[in-house]
Structures are given as C-alpha cells and as structure tokens.
Structure 1
Amino acid sequence: MTVDAHDLTQVEAVIFDLDGTMVNTLGDFQVALNRTMADLNLPSVPDALIEQAIGKGSEHLIRSVLAYQIASPQAKGVGQTCQALSVDDFFDRAWQRYQYHYKTINGQFSEVYPGVLVALHHLAAKGVPMACLTNKPLVFAQTLLKEKSLTHFFAWVFGGDSFERKKPDPLPILKTCDALGTAVKRTLMVGDSSNDADAAHAAGCPVVLVTYGYNHGQPVQNTPAAAWLDTLADLPVRLS
C-alpha cells in the first residue's frame, strides 16, 4: 500500500536497516540473551519481550530484559535478594556476558528474509548506492553482514555506536546521507519499525517499512510511511 508514491520517484540512494528488515535475527537474540540470563541465574526470556525490545540498541535491549526479569514472579525462585535489586545491579555483568555470547553466535541462528536478495541485486544492477544503518553495535553488524554474504552490497555500514545518537534521532540518517553524498530528500530509508520511520521523518527523507519485522510489538501499518511492503522483492518496482 502506498500513500506517498511520488516520494519514491526521485530516489538516488537507499539506506537499509538490518534487524527485522534484511535479516531475521530473533534467534540470535534469543540464544545470546538466554545464555546471559543463565549466567546471572535469572529465568529465560519470553520471546515476545525480546521482539518488543529489539531495535533501540543493545543497552536498551538488556535493560528492558533485566527490568522484566527482576520484576517477574519467576525471579523469586532464583535468589532471595533478586527482588530487592535494581537493573543497575545486574547491568555491567549482563552487558559483559551478552557481548561475549552474541559475538560467539552472531549469525548462527538468523536468516535473510525472502525477497531481500532480489531487492539488493536489482538496486546494485541499477548502480543505486546503498548503506546499512542499524542500532546494532557496528562490529556485530559488520560480522552479521559478512556471515550472510551481504557486505558487498553496501558502500557504508553504520551501527548504533557510530554516531553520538541512535535512531529514532535523525542524526544517523543525516550522517549516512553525507557519507553517501546524496540529498536527504532523495535518499530512501527502508526499515521495519517506528524507530526508522521517526528518524526518517525528522531527517526529511521518504521511508518504506516492511510488515514482517519487530516494531516493538505494534502493527507497523499504524506508522506513517510512503509504503508498507510484505517483501522487499516489491521495492525495485516502486523505484523503477
């Protein structure tokens, strides 16, 4: 469904989000977070919570999970003092263990969504410059793209630690457009969540959202966008 199709007729470059847009990384998050919780003697993490917390960077993800785990009745059985502790009491250790576990399994429990390679090959054949912009730490993003043989499509890759602020702040998009050498209004943001849309709207560039991503547990069609796509295989048609 398109609401602003004219916004997509003058696109000169495309910025892609990573998690939930190009690669289904839920499995990686599940494994890394649950191994982290086991190290902290905390309960396993509900899948729904992980989906809702993905997208705003690793620190937000870990803090959201810890807040839930500490407040959960299940936590009462894993330590008498757990209920009296705060997220900050767990965070440093959780961050350390999560970094270790995610690095160990990055890409092993994830898969590229159907239609992604069709879109990337089509854009590459047309000579459209592309960048990957994610709130995932840069080293994790680079490793994942390499693991999934996607690196060569992107002139630039930026992570959540590449700039002073993360999406939904517009700064990362503005900086990525600077790197691509394209005008913001002629650069398309492709993502899966309100994070991507809010950043794009604030920056002044058109945005397309996929319907299969995470979006913090909310229907992405409720987020204003130029289009909502069930598959990125439809993207080249809208750019042709």
Structure 2
Amino acid sequence: MVDTLGDFDVALNETLKDLGRPTVTRADIERMVGKGSAHLIHSALVHGGLRADEAARRQPEAWARYQAHYLAINGQHSAVYPGVVEGLTALRGLGLPLACLTNKPLAFARPLLQAKGLVGFFAHVFGGDSFARTKPDPLPLRKTCEALGSAPARTLMVGDSQNDAIAARAAGCPVVLVTYGYNHGEPVRAVDADAFVDRLDSLPGLLSGALAQ
C-alpha cells in the first residue's frame, strides 16, 4: 500500500553509519526487504562484509539504532501507491472487513498508516512482532483470519511478494498479488498466485464478479 523504500534507505543507512559499517544502495534494499526489519538489518550487515555470526552479535545495537532512526522519519520519505485509497474505499463499500498484516514492527506500521490516512480502513492492524512468527510462516495470516472471524478459504490475501503468496498457500487462503512490490528483486508474476493486479483499485471489480457467481 505504501512505498516505504525511502524510509528504509534513510533509517538503515544512518544505522550503518552509526555502527561504522558500509552503507547500502536502494537496489540492495529492494532485494533485502520483505522478511521483517531484523532480517533487513542482518542482511545489510552481512552485505557490508560481516560474517553471519558477527552480524548477529551486532544485531542488538543495530536494532536499537534502527528503531530510533526509523521512528524519527517514519513516513517522511514514503508515498501511498496510486489506486490504494480508491481500492480500499471500494473494498469497504462491498462490505468486506479489512485487516492489515505486515512484517514491519507494529510500532512502525500503525503510525505509518495513520500518517498516510489509511488506518481507518482496517478493523485490525498486525505487525511482524504481533505473533510468534512472521510471514512467510502461515501463523500470522491464520491469526488474522481468526481476528476477522473469517475462514481462511474465504479470506483473500492481497500482497506483493513471494512471502505473501507462500503464507497464503500454507494458510489455505486465496491470494492476489500487486505487481509493483519489490519481491526481493524477482519478477512477481513468476510467483504462484491466483491473480495479479497492477493497481489496488482493479481488485474490487474482480471480487464483484466473483461474489456475483
């Protein structure tokens, strides 16, 4: 829903500078995002030349610095993708309860949605630290279905990456992917999904047809 690459770029590189580690490019970040902030930080440290065990030892310090930097700039370098507000408005108009499930920490996710005027669309907002495991594990999606009171087979997962599709398949949810996400630098249309849309406001039309059948 929100292109946060700019926020990642600023917060992560300021963190790496604090640690005296090499910075990363936006192209590097595109390949690293999607599995949560802890994974992003670890990947950046390894990319900069640390062994995995060395990166793990630096992780607590890095995480503390990253949190401080991210919270200071959250949403300032990001933008809502075209068609998102229109799509969410139309989905709500169909009477569908909506939940936001992201691997971003909840302390980052909820303020971002508030800043971008999106939080009111959702009955629930869950972050990467809301449950014991993160996507692509199916647990967060199953818990989200429970919160919505909806069976997984009747709960559509809308995502932008292989992580989302894997979680949906494992949880027993149908899945539609938008084509403008990062997906670790890989073509998203190569992912196993039920459908693809270029903009979120294209989705309500697909669902209206399905609901009419």
TM-score (norm 1): 0.84
Q: Partner residue of 2:211?
A: none
1:43 is displaced (CA, Å) by 2.1
Of 31, 39, 62 in structure 1, the residue corresponding to residue 41 of structure 2 is: 62
Of 86, 92, 113 in structure 2, the residue corresponding to residue 124 of structure 1 is: 92
User: Are 1:141 and 2:109 matched, yes or no?
Assistant: yes
Q: Partner residue of 1:9?
A: none
Q: Partner residue of 2:123?
A: 155
Q: Distance in 1 between matches of 2:57 and 2:143?
A: 35
User: Are 1:195 and 2:163 matched, yes or no?
Assistant: yes
Q: Distance in 2 between matches of 1:205 and 1:94?
A: 35
Kindly name which structure, 1 or 2, has the bigger radius of gyration based on alpha carbons.
1
User: Gapped runs of 5+ residues in structure 1?
Assistant: 1-21, 72-82
Please report the RMSD computed on the Cα atoms of aligned residues, expressed in angstroms.
1.2
Report 1 or 2 for greater relative contact order, CA contacts < 8 Å, sequence distance ≥ 6: 1
Instruction: Look up the equivalent residue of 1:118 and give its one-letter code.
Output: E
- Three-state SS of the structure 1 residue aligned to 2:157 is strand
Q: Distance in 2 between matches of 1:70 and 1:216?
A: 20
Q: Partner residue of 1:168?
A: 136
- Three-state SS of the structure 1 residue aligned to 2:100 is strand
Of 27, 46, 54 in structure 1, the residue corresponding to residue 6 of structure 2 is: 27
User: Are 1:224 and 2:198 matched, yes or no?
Assistant: no
Q: Distance in 2 between matches of 1:145 and 1:198?
A: 25
8 Å CA contact retained: 1:40, 1:94: yes
Q: Distance in 2 between matches of 1:239 and 1:228?
A: 13
* Aligned residue pair count: 207
Aligned-pair identity (%): 61
Q: Partner residue of 2:152?
A: 184
1:111 is displaced (CA, Å) by 0.4
- Three-state SS of the structure 2 residue aligned to 1:120 is helix
Q: Distance in 2 between matches of 1:117 and 1:97?
A: 32
User: Are 1:88 and 2:88 matched, yes or no?
Assistant: no
Instruction: Look up the equivalent residue of 1:150 and give its one-letter code.
Output: L
1:41 is displaced (CA, Å) by 1.6
Q: Distance in 1 between matches of 2:137 and 2:106?
A: 17
Report Cα offsets for 1:17-41 as digits up to 9, x if no partner: xxxxx00000000000111111112
Report Cα offsets for 1:126-168 as digits up to 9, x if no partner: 2210000001101111010001010100000001111111111
Q: Distance in 2 between matches of 1:91 and 1:142?
A: 24
Of 81, 89, 98 in structure 2, the residue corresponding to residue 113 of structure 1 is: 81
8 Å CA contact retained: 1:138, 1:161: yes
8 Å CA contact retained: 1:70, 1:87: no
Q: Partner residue of 1:76?
A: none
Q: Distance in 1 between matches of 2:65 and 2:16?
A: 9
User: Are 1:42 and 2:42 matched, yes or no?
Assistant: no
Report Cα offsets for 1:158-183 as digits up to 9, x if no partner: 01111111111111111000000011
